[in-house]
Structure formats: C-alpha cells, structure tokens
Amino acid sequence: MNGPKPEAQDQRGRPKRGPKRGPKRKPERGPKPAANPQPAATPGPQPAAGGKPAPIGLLHGSLLDGSGSNLWTQAVVRALCRAGNDVHLLCQEPRPEQFDFIARAIRYDRHARPTVLFQRDVPYRGACTLHRPELGGILPVWVEGRQQEHQMVITMIDLDDDVIEDYVARNTAVLARVVAEHHLAALHAGDAVLMTVVARRVAQERPIPFTIMPHGSAIEYAVQRDARFHRMASQALRRAGRVFVHGPEMRARVNGVFPRVAGLAAKFVDLPPGVDARQFAPVERAARRNSIAGLEESLRAPADSAAHSGPDADCAAKLGSIDWDAGRVLLYVGRLMAAKGPQAAIAALPSILRHEPQARLIVVGHGPLRPPLEKLIAALQSGDRDHLRDVLQRRDGGVPGDEDPFLHVRRYVERLEARGELEHYLSAAREEAIARRVVFTGYLAHRHLRFLLPCCDVAIFPSLMPEAGPQVFLEAVAAGVFPLGTYSAGIAASIDALSRVVAPAVSGVMKLRPDPEHLAADIAAQGVRALRLGATHAQRLRRSVIRRHDWSMVAGTLVKTLNRLRSGSTSASKRAS
C-alpha cells in the first residue's frame, strides 16, 4: 500500500461525499492550551517520590468497554495499576465508578475547569485518575454504533473541520493542564487519530515524549479514507518517540500507509495484545451448564458501561436451549459488519452440519449487518436457491467500504454449484434447521464472555481486514477454545506464536485464507477438523498464551518504552540547557 486509497477530493483534500455530514454548528471553542496552565484547586497525586514510578498519561478518545481498543485500554490500565503505576487517563467513559482501578474521576467544562466526580481507594498498588473533557456531546467513532450517553455519535470522516478543531482543542487544553499539575513523565496515544494530534500539540509546548499504537480500524476507516486524517496521523508519527505494532505484517502495513514518514520503521516496538488468564480459564464439559448458569446470573446485573446496546432480551433463554453436554459449539465474537467476516462463518455452517450434526454457531456482537445476516439464514433455511441468490445480491453492508457484504458467500455458493454440491448444501441447511442452529446473543461484555468462552469448542475470527489483535482471539485460547483466524496481520502473528508448541498439521488448521475464493470453504473444512481435535491441545496452547501475552508483560513493555523515552528526553533537555 502507498498512502491512502485514491478518491475524488475537494479543495481541502477530502474525499467527495454525499450530503450526509457531521453537525454544521458553530462550536463553542475550547481554549487553546496555555504554555504554563495554572494548577486547579483540586487534590491530586504529587510528583513521584520515594522510588514510586512517575505517573504516565494514556489518551483514549472513546469509552472503556465494547470495541477492541476500549477493552485494551481498560485491561492495560488495570495491569499498570496492579504493578504500582499511577495513570492519568484521558477518555470519555461516562460511568467511571464501575471500573475498580479508577480512584478518582474529574470532569472538565469547555474552559478546562475541573469538577471532581468522586475519589476513593482502589485495591491496587497504583491508581488511575480519569479525566473527561466536555466535548459538547460529540463522540467521534470509526464506524457507526450506539453509544447511549452521547448525543452525537459521528463517524470520523463525517466530521467537519471546525468540529475536529474544537474537539482537539478541548482535549488539548485538558491534557496540558493534567501534564503540568501532575508532572506526567510520558504519554501514550492509543490510536492513529485524533488523540495523537492532542499528544503532538502538548508535546510542542513542553518536553514530554509520547508513543502511538495505530489500530486497524483507525487506518481502515479514517486514515485511508480521508486525506485530513492521513495528514494528521503522519504529523503525529513524525513527532512520536516510538510506535507500537504487533507482527511483521502490521509493521509492513503501517509503513505502506505512511511511506513519507522518514525513519518510521526505526520507531517500531512489538507490543502483542494481552490476556487475563485469571478471568479466562478452561471449563470441563461436565461443568459447562454451571458456567452458563453463571452467565445467566451476570446478565441480570446492571450494565458495565454505556459503550453499546446490551445483550438480546432473550439471550439467556437462547443459550439455555443449547445442549452443553453433547453439543459441538462454534463461536464468533465481534462487531457484526462485513469487514469482520461473520457472514462467512454462517455460510460455512450447513457444510459443517453435514459432518457434525450437533454443531451450533453462537454469534456474539451487534452491528449493522445483523438484519442482513438474519435474512441470509432465512434464505438458507428455505432451501430455495433463487431466494438465496436474491439475498446475496445485497450491496450495502451499512458501513463505508462494505458495499458488497456477501461477496465471500456468493463465491462459496458458486463454488458449490460448480461442483454439483449446492443441493446437498441447501438440503443440510433446511433439514438440520439452520435457523435454530445459529444463536445471536447481542453484545456481551467481558463479565459475560468469561462464562461463555470456555463452554465453546471452536472460536472463529474471519476478519477480512488486517487487525492488530483481536484480543478475544487470545482470550478464547486461554479459555481452552481452539481458534480459527484469517492468517493476516495480528492474527497471523498470534497463530505463528502458537505454532511453536503444536505440530504444523495442528497450527495449519488454525489458518484461514481471507480471500473470497477460500474463506468460507476454509471455515467449513477446518471447522470440522477443529471440532474433532477437541481439547487435545488446549492446555499446551493456553500455557503458550500466558507466557507471552499476560497483561503484566504488555504493561511492562509499555512502561519500559516510555521510561526510556523519558530518560532520553531528560538527557537531551539537560544538554540543551
């Protein structure tokens, strides 16, 4: 890849689009950050002393639950606090009291004036202070979703320039104040934009180093679709001290998207996703019903966060209908959008049922593709090839870039037809009642997944776009579930690490080819093989994941990298003086 995808552009270098835009309001400007902001009259941590690590700042433009980057931020902050680090987290989480590592939460008005929401003790050696700037109700996102406590959830590419500037200015003013008051040692921005722009602006005013970790969604849905964000990300990458990536393919991808950022490859530091092995652990088949009972109990508790709409109202009843003693359970966890590939997993199920008639597929997540997926299932259940063809002609997946959401399914159906196998395939879908074999749960938080994952046999991660993670891939392995994933980017790196502890024939089963000609067919064939492997390699794979991906090691790599940058920055400042 060489920079952003070519598109027709307007005078500002932005892709030409239809009339749908962000709010055309004149925003109330956030203040520009002062070079030396005055401390607020609020109690807070003092400068590091007595050997305690200097506090660090994490910048996260979203919430603490829901998407992969949200969960990454939640987990790494908890690990940092557990290790004795004090963290100052800039984010938009509306319910900070529900996270046990947050000792104090502060809300800032549009003039960056603070109000302490609460202060309390936490069960860790370190503590997190959450700083939430007032942004006028706006929450920029990569793809459309439902974040209930924000009035305007807007996709990044639909934001107007004045709204972007206001968003950045408000965050920058708050961060500049936090850095000055709490003597932060270094910053980490967990995306490609817009928090990296905030970090860069603050670093221009004072000598504080920062790191960046680009995520696949930010690159795919903002940087490569809008020249404004490509320019902003490039400027931040030039200024950043280090850039965290995972695996050789992600390194190559970031290099390819930003070919004009000199010395970028020299800044790369490998940072794999993490897993909490205490939360995700295997369950014996005989104990699965007890684990599902725990899930049902957790479904009755209040929601963790306002990150997303929750589980389906009848989620517990649907999961209760599964034969957890004898059934063979496949699992998909992720956003329901074509780029994540759930349609390929559903398309493969009739072929799997021909060999494993006890198979069930649980689909965890929410998103714009759910109604089309339900129509696909209904067409398969009908056994009518004309009905199926009509459904597969859909050309709108509900997300920019998902203009042909069923391409992979069409290719698989065409392949079956060419081999004279389509009638057998449709008969299996109809006779095995595929409509009852697929269970949609809606969105499940980690407190639900910890009960569900170990009750499954095979987890499928059929993403069509290169991803840095996903984190749930490792959580599934830690829970004793055999993984299948598209062999690209971060998933490929994780599979390669697992391949060191199992035979090539076993690791080969994990690898799915993401192209339209092969993905659904690979899931069909390798899904059956994976079900028959059972738990043979579960403990060996779990140990491998824990050795390399425990959150304490991920947090340790982050802190060591920030400390080295801080030491280098301090030395440079002394030489300059």
Q: Would you give per-residue pLDDT tens digits along the chain (577 residues)?
A: 444 444 444 444 444 444 444 444 444 444 444 333 333 333 333 344 456 778 999 999 999 987 788 999 999 999 999 999 999 999 999 999 999 999 999 999 999 999 999 999 999 999 999 999 999 888 998 876 554 455 578 889 999 999 999 999 999 999 999 999 999 999 999 989 999 999 999 999 999 999 999 987 889 889 999 999 999 999 999 999 999 998 888 899 999 999 999 999 999 999 988 999 989 999 999 999 999 999 999 998 876 554 457 899 999 999 999 999 999 999 999 999 999 999 999 999 999 999 999 999 999 999 999 999 999 999 999 999 999 999 999 877 666 667 799 999 999 999 999 999 999 999 999 999 999 999 999 999 989 999 999 999 999 999 998 887 778 999 999 999 999 999 998 899 999 999 999 999 999 999 999 999 999 999 999 999 999 998 899 999 999 999 999 999 999 999 999 999 988 765 554 444 4
Domain boundaries, the chain: 56-274+553-566, 285-295+309-549
What length does the chain have? 577
- The pLDDT score that the predictor gives to residue 52 is 72
For 488, the token pair is: 């690209």
Q: Are 69 and 60 in contact (CB under 8 A)?
A: yes
Which sign does the torsion angle of CA 122, 127, 133, 139 carry? Answer: negative
Q: What is the mean pLDDT of the chain?
A: 88
* pLDDT value of residue 301: 80
Return left, alpha or beta for 334; rule: phi > 0 is left, psi -120 to 50 is alpha, else beta.
left
Predicted pLDDT of residue 259: 97
Asked whether the domain spanning 285-295+309-549 has the same topology as the one spanning 56-274+553-566, the reply is yes
* Per-residue confidence (pLDDT) for residue 400, from 0 to 100: 65
DSSP letters, 369-391, are THHHHHHHHHHHHHT-HHHHHHH
Cα 565 to Cα 207: distance, rounded to the nearest angstrom: 11
Q: 56-274+553-566 maps to which CATH number?
A: 3.40.50.2000
Question: Across the strands, what pairs with 485?
Answer: 461, 511
* pLDDT of amino acid 473: 95
The dotted CATH code for 285-295+309-549 is 3.40.50.2000
From residue 458, how far is each of 306, 359, 535 by CA, in Å?
Answer: 29, 10, 10
